[in-house]
Each structure stands twice: as C-alpha cells, then as structure tokens.
Structure 1
Amino acid sequence: MNEELATGAAVAALVLLTLLALFQLALALGAPLGRVAWGGRHRVLPGRLRVGSAVSILLYALFGTVLADRVGLVDVLPDAVSEVGTWVLAGYFLLGVVMNAVSRSVPERLTMAPVAALLSGACVVIALAAG
C-alpha cells in the first residue's frame, strides 16, 4: 500500500514538473507569461530570466529523476541520494511556497504557491511511503 501511495505521489509530481518545464520553455522562448513567474515584473522575460527558465527545465528534469528513482520507476541513483534528495526537494518546494506566497505578483501567488505546495506534499509522501 505504501509503495502504491509513493508511486501515485511520484506520478503526480512528475506531471506537475513536466507542466512546469513546458511553462518555463514557453517563457524561455518569449511567451508573454512572465507575470506568473520570476516575481511577475515582466510580461515577456528579459534575456537573463529566459536563461533562468532554460536552467529551470534542467533542474525539473533532475528533480523528476530523483523522485522517480526513489519510488523505483527508474534506477539511476544510489539509494542514499534519492532518499536524501527527496527530503531536500520537500524542503525546497516548501520554501517555494513561502517565496511565491509573498510575491508582489498576484498571478504568481495564485498559481505557483499552490503548485509548490502540491510538490512539497508529494515529496513528503514519497519520502515517508517509499520503501
């Protein structure tokens, strides 16, 4: 039962990370969605933030790999790395909740804070339920 719960949480997290990666790709390519990210100051991101969005895609892939490894969907990392990494990600996304909740951008607060909360919760479930 715990493994099923962990796997379900990982699948949900992977879906969210994929959607975030697609969102960041759109931002990196110049989509006018900047009010929902990076503090919401720019409708279209300037070059340095576009680079940040591109780097975010790579980070989301790494995060997804850690979570998928922890629940056994892939086996590419030492167990200790995925165990500790899952807790680190839980904390990282919890910090993301706080950072997004205090954003001056209302669209960012309303969108990204809940997404970060879901990801943090999924990471806690995975950390506690994964074998």
Structure 2
Amino acid sequence: MTESLAVAACGLLLLAAAFQLALTAGAPWAAAAYGGRAARSDGRLPGRYRAASLVAAVVLVGIGWLLLLRGGVVGSASESPALTVACWGLAVLFAVNTAGNLAGRHPLERWGMGGLTACLTVLCVLLALG
C-alpha cells in the first residue's frame, strides 16, 4: 500500500515540477503562480521568479525521491525514522502551501494547485503513518 501512495505522490510532484519548469521556460502562466503578483504584461514571470521556479522544480523532484524511498519503491531505507519525520514535515509544508494556494487570485492556483497540495498533504500523512 505504501508503494502506491508514494508513486501517487511522486506523480503529483512531477506534475507540479513540470508546471514550474514551464514557468522557468517562459510559459505565459504567471497569473497562476506566486499569487499572480509577479506576472508581467506578457503573462510570463520576471527573471528572478523564473529562477525560483527552477529551484522549486528541483526541490519537488527531490521530495518525490524522498517519498519513493519512504514508500519502499527505491532503496531500502523505508523504515528509517528520519524518513518518517521528513514525511510529517512535508505534510505540514504542503498544508501551509495549500492555505497559500487557496488564497491565490487565479482559479488554477486556487483550485488546481490547492487541490494538488491538499492531496500531497494527505499522502504525506499516510506515508508518515506507514
């Protein structure tokens, strides 16, 4: 069961990372990110926000790897207490992120990314419980 949870979480994280990479590449979706406050008139993010999106994409992939470890999909450290603590920390992080997304102006940020991070919160809790 934990393997399926980890794979589902990783899939959601890859979706979010792809969105961040698209923003990095100049996709005109800035209104749906960072509360819409960073959008330029052409719909793209300014340079420093594009760099932040690149960092976010790398972090999201790293979190995915960690969750795959916890779920026993890769490696042999799935019972590590450190991974359990990390999952609880990620659950809190995604819960806070959900609140921020729900406060966003754009419907994609509010409902799309808010729903995605809410699902990640639940999946991280379930993975922490093992």
TM-score, length of structure 1 as denominator length:
0.88
- What residue in structure 2 maps to residue 54 of structure 1? 54
Distance 1:99 1:115 in 2: 12
Tell me the equivalent position of 1:14: 10
Higher relative contact order (CA 8 A, sep 6+): 1
User: How many residue pairs get matched?
Assistant: 125
Shift of 1:76: 7.2
Segments of 4+ moved more than 3 angstroms: none
1:30 and 2:26 matched: yes
The 8 Å contact of residues 66 and 77 in structure 1, kept in 2 or not, is answered as no
Q: TM-score, normalised by structure 2?
A: 0.89
Give the match for residue 70 of structure 1.
70
The question of whether the paired residues in 1 share the 8 Å contact of 2:6 and 2:71 is answered with: yes
Structure 2: any 5+ residue segments left out of the alignment? none
Counting helix residues as a fraction of each chain, which structure ranks higher?
Answer: 1
Instruction: Give me the identity figure in percent.
Output: 38
Shift of 1:110: 1.8
Q: In the alignment, is the contact (CA less than 8 A) between 1:97 and 1:117 conserved in 2?
A: yes
Partners of 1:24 and 1:109 in 2: how far apart?
16
| RMSD (Å) for aligned C-alpha atoms | 1.6
Structure 1 residue 80: Cα displacement? 2.6
Unaligned ranges ≥5, structure 1: none
Give the secondary structure class of the aligned counterpart of 2:27: coil
Aligned to 2:127: 126
Measured in 2, the distance between the counterparts of 1:9 and 1:86 equals 12
Match of residue 80 from structure 1: 81
